[in-house]
Amino acid sequence: MKGSKMNFDIEYIEKLSKVLNDNELTEISLEDGDNAITIRKDVIVSPAAVVPAAAPAPAREAEVVTDSKKGIPIVSPMVGTFYTSPSPDAKPFVTVGQTVSKGDKVCIIEAMKLMNEIETEISGKIVEICVQDGQPVEFGQILMYVE
């Protein structure tokens, strides 16, 4: 989608949800400059589904993970472990209420014993940090919100 202008209006989100459901996908993540959206469908597994002969459990409708009321999400670009600071005794890269500029380091994601510094693509104020220090994160998981 490079070069095209992404528009995250309700109609566009509904189309993405339909693509997710029609193609048996569990997640779609799109990012274009300052715009990012993740739509995720969780699969509900009932205890009966654990038995090998049981049919797959029904999937819930796709839900939009981004929350425009909180601000613009910064999402994890990889699976790994989230760290708020460069070392256990160092101060955090960012705190709630702090203003950040594009390119500022906001956290570290450790993946396969490599420390990956995550930089913000946007400028603004950190309004929420959604992950605890040392917690595992998934690709596309919202780490924090900036407004």
Instruction: Using DSSP, state whether 21 is helix, strand or coil.
Output: helix
pLDDT for residue 56: 41
Nearest to 84 by CA among 114, 36, 124, 118: 118
Domain ranges, ordered by start, for the chain: 10-64, 72-146
Q: Is the CATH number of domain 72-146 2.40.50.100?
A: yes
Of 11, 39, 4, 10, the C-alpha closest to 25 is: 39
| pLDDT for the residue 133 | 94
Nearest by Cα to 139 from 52, 50, 26: 26
pLDDT tens string, the chain, 147 residues long: the values are 444 444 566 677 777 777 767 766 677 777 766 667 777 766 544 444 444 444 443 433 333 444 456 889 999 999 999 999 999 899 999 999 999 999 999 999 999 889 999 999 999 999 999 999 999 999 999 999 999
Give the pLDDT score at 37: 74
How high is the pLDDT of residue 34? 67
pLDDT of residue 132: 94
pLDDT for 52: 44
Judge whether 119 and 100 are in contact, CB under 8 Å.
no
- What is the pLDDT, as a whole number, of residue 96? 94
The residue assigned the tokens 């603004």 is 124
For residue 66, what pLDDT is reported?
A: 46
